[in-house]
Chains A and B, each alone.
Chain A
Amino acid sequence: MGAAFTPIPARPAPQRTTGALAWVRKNLFASIPNAIATLLLGAFLAWLAFHFIRWGIVHAVGKPDADLCQAARGTGACWGVIVEKGRFILMGRYPSAEHWRAVLAVLALLTPVIASCSPRCWKPWLALVWVAGIAAFFVLMLGGVFGLSRVPTDQWGGLPLTLMLTVLSMAMAFPIAVVVALGRRSTMPAIRSLCIVYIELIRGVPLISLLFMASFMFPLFLPVGKSPDVLVRVIVGITLFAAAYMAEIVRGGLQTVGKGQTEAADSIGLGYWQAQRKIVLPQALAAVVPGIMNNFISLLKDTSLVTIVSLYELTGALSLALGSDPNWRPFKIEAYFFIAAVYFAMCFSMSRYSLRLEKRLARGSHR
């Protein structure tokens, strides 16, 4: 007895798991290899940011002055090329006095697209909005009526052409895709094999070969003496291409509709087309909207290929704008970054929205 009471030392307080310092420890310095990765990557990012800011902001020339740009070459970016040529890149050879028409036409074209993205608008009248939007686009772009001067299609270009090729091909591919997808699931062997051959044939070859076909071979296909506009031929080519890919997406949607649904439709006496139209397709199509939006995004990117068959959409208009002007030709990289940013803004925002939509549609089925 008699030993003095000595308490055991208190345990250290637990490590903080909240707050900035804890976040840094958990996400940047969790282990030694992790810390090394952080330091190396941090140094690399800092180096990249330093050079980009120096080139793109500090030494950059913002004024549309070719001499200033020439002087800053190699050390700074010349954003002046976008101020000077941006309008030409976005609109192509469309007459500059009529640019307002192109802007209105694009808005008319985008209205049905935006409406289709929202489940609230999935009603029968949507088809009318599509027809009206596309008709308004052509009236405004082509002119020749209502006192608008006529602008032939070979002067169309830039962003309106890019969007038109995408939207119009998608709109025309959609009904084809639904029919082909139904045909591929049909029990009739001849119809099923025709649909399979179409889908696999188109999906097996690159788009560029279809575009070559559109520009070299379509004139030969038609009756002697008739050769449609190159724009029409290219649209037909892209539509056939898009329809094959979309048919596979729609088929995926059809597969999500349970067999019980068609059996129920049979048992209440609906015929094949009635059952498809009233029971199967409404469920299948709602399920594939995110997939179709992804298809839309890839088609939007793929329309850049038409520049190879000499249509001046966004990418082609850029080469046209800078190639014809020796003063500005050296500053192509800045212009490339500009249209890359345009494409990125369109595609990225759409892909984000399609992800959101997918989650929202899944909410109903995965409760």
Chain B
Amino acid sequence: MSELIPPRRAPAARRQGLSWRSKRVRGWAYQLAAVSAIAFLAWLLVSSTLANMRLRGIQSGFDFLLQPAGFDIGEPWFGYESVNPYWKAFAVGVMNTLRVAVIGIVFSTLLGTALGIGRFSRNVLVRGLCYCYVELFRNVPVLLQLLVWYLAFTEYLPAPTEPLRAAGLFFVSKNGLSFPSPHWVPGHGLAVAGFLAGIGAAALYLWFAKRRFEQTGQQLPALLGAVALLVATTALGLWAGGSPVEFELPAMSEIQVEGGGSWTPEFLTVLLGLSFYTSAFIAEVVRAGIASVPAGQHEASASLGLSRLRSMRLVVMPQALRLIIPPLTNQYLNLTKNSSLAVAVGYPDVVSIANTAINQSGRAVECIAIIMAVYLTTSLLTSALMNWLDRRSALKER
């Protein structure tokens, strides 16, 4: 008779006690240590900051925001004057930052996309020029570029008394750029209403065109039709409102150009400096995105009989966009953050306002906190928006 091997005993229950050998316990210990170290450091910083402030007689708190600022701002919004409180000065600074960032983003995207596509031109001059532009502008610090632009605008442009002019409508001098600005009259309200109606009509038309294409395979001129609708409704609104075309034209007085809209040299410096710098980076992003689309895609679309333009728009770009959007977001954020360099040329953005406020009120901690809060908010909002766009252009998989 063979002996049965006795069954093995069940393994001992895992010890769940507090043992250093348990990965879970170690994890909690490390985390507790890290959090308490950070908390201790924070307490140390806060307490010594408070002690230092008491010692130096520095007041703290955000109540200074309600006191009159006492300084003028070169590019005011909502009727800011120096008797207005600090919070209004900061609001002006935020608006100036956003103004230069938004216009700069539009400008640098257009220029950067053109340059990035230009790198693929069949013409060697276009190709070479785009390459040189990109390398030249992205390898020189943006602060230096801003200083050069500022020098160019303030030293090398003609004096305000004899500006360069174009068609009697645009004037350029050391005082900046003057241009005709539309004069608001009630008739324009109808034009705006027409424009809004046009957007709705165009969206409806695009939806209809898409449905028709899906059902019958017949294509309608989608983009052309939408633009035509938009222009037509706007024109109709303008005509219904009595077609007022009123521009406030800039004109020469004895000493300088007056009237019309105007951009100061500081604004132009920051706008052009940031746009030219960022567009070099955007060009690289666009180039890399297009280059990553396999050559087979170009060839396949050509063999289907698509023209170069349509193959770019329908086949290459949708695929390239997926790679372009995340780094493009970074470039937009960089442009916004770099607009803080405006302080070097005296454009009153939020950082220069805060700098002045620090020097006047001595509330350094509060002012720097405001700067950081403003930029963090814009950064997070921009990322959220671009992530949404990114999701839309992502691969739709089952």
* B106 within 8 Å of A (CB atoms): no
Neighbour of A308 across the interface among B135, B140, B338, B343, CB < 8 A? B343
Cβ of A60 to closest chain B Cβ, rounded Å? 17
B375→A204 contact, CB < 8 A: yes
Neighbour of B139 across the interface among A189, A213, A344, CB < 8 A? A344
CB-defined contacts of B249 to chain A, threshold 8 Å: none
A220→B365 contact, CB < 8 A: yes
A339→B125 contact, CB < 8 A: no
Q: How far is the CA of A191 from the CA of B34 in the complex (A)?
A: 7
B139→A188 contact, CB < 8 A: no
Determine the residue in chain B with the shortest Cβ distance to A44. B129
CB-defined contacts of B135 to chain A, threshold 8 Å: 348
**Restricting to A279-330, which residues have a CB under 8 Å from any CB of B?**
297, 301-302, 304-305, 307-308, 315
Interface size on B, residues (CB 8 A): 54
Known contacts: A188-B31, A216-B358, A224-B52. The answer to whether A209 contacts B125 by CB under 8 A is no
B371→A205 contact, CB < 8 A: yes
**Restricting to A205-259, which residues have a CB under 8 Å from any CB of B?**
205-209, 212-213, 216-217, 219-224
CB-defined contacts of A212 to chain B, threshold 8 Å: 351, 354-355, 358, 364, 368, 371
* B65 within 8 Å of A (CB atoms): no
CB-defined contacts of B147 to chain A, threshold 8 Å: 315, 336
Q: Binary interface profile of A, 189-207, with partner B (CB < 8 Å = 1, else 0)?
A: 1110010000001011111
B124→A27 contact, CB < 8 A: yes
CB-defined contacts of B340 to chain A, threshold 8 Å: 206, 208-209
B143→A307 contact, CB < 8 A: yes
A217→B35 contact, CB < 8 A: no
A37→B337 contact, CB < 8 A: no
* A347 within 8 Å of B (CB atoms): yes
B351→A222 contact, CB < 8 A: no
A208→B343 contact, CB < 8 A: yes
Interface size on A, residues (CB 8 A): 53
* A340 within 8 Å of B (CB atoms): yes
Neighbour of B123 across the interface among A28, A217, A223, A304, CB < 8 A? A28
Cβ of B57 to closest chain A Cβ, rounded Å? 13
**Restricting to A322-359, which residues have a CB under 8 Å from any CB of B?**
332-333, 336, 339-340, 343-344, 347-348, 351
* B126 within 8 Å of A (CB atoms): yes
B125→A308 contact, CB < 8 A: no
B375→A206 contact, CB < 8 A: yes
Q: Binary interface profile of B, 114-139, with partner A (CB < 8 Å = 1, else 0)?
A: 00000000111110010000011001
Cβ of A213 to closest chain B Cβ, rounded Å? 5
Cβ of A28 to closest chain B Cβ, rounded Å? 6
Pick from B12-20, B43-51, B76-84, B318-326 the stretch touching chain A.
B43-51
B148→A336 contact, CB < 8 A: yes
**Restricting to B329-376, which residues have a CB under 8 Å from any CB of A?**
337-338, 340-341, 343-344, 351, 354-355, 358, 364-365, 368, 371-372, 375-376
* B141 within 8 Å of A (CB atoms): yes
CB-defined contacts of B344 to chain A, threshold 8 Å: 307-308
Q: How far is the CA of A249 from the CA of B121 in the complex (A)?
A: 32
Q: How far is the CA of A212 from the CA of B369 in the complex (A)?
A: 11
A220→B375 contact, CB < 8 A: no
Known contacts: A28-B124, A188-B30. The answer to whether A305 contacts B144 by CB under 8 A is no
B35→A190 contact, CB < 8 A: yes
Determine the residue in chain A with the shortest Cβ distance to B365. A217
10 A-B pairs in the complex with CB atoms less than 8 angstroms apart: A27-B123, A34-B122, A191-B30, A205-B371, A206-B371, A208-B343, A221-B45, A301-B140, A302-B141, A315-B144
The 6 closest A-B pairs by CB, nearest first: A216-B364, A190-B31, A206-B337, A347-B139, A27-B124, A301-B141
Known: A38-B123, A206-B338, A343-B139. 7 other contacts (CB 8 A): A30-B123, A204-B380, A205-B379, A207-B337, A216-B368, A224-B55, A332-B155
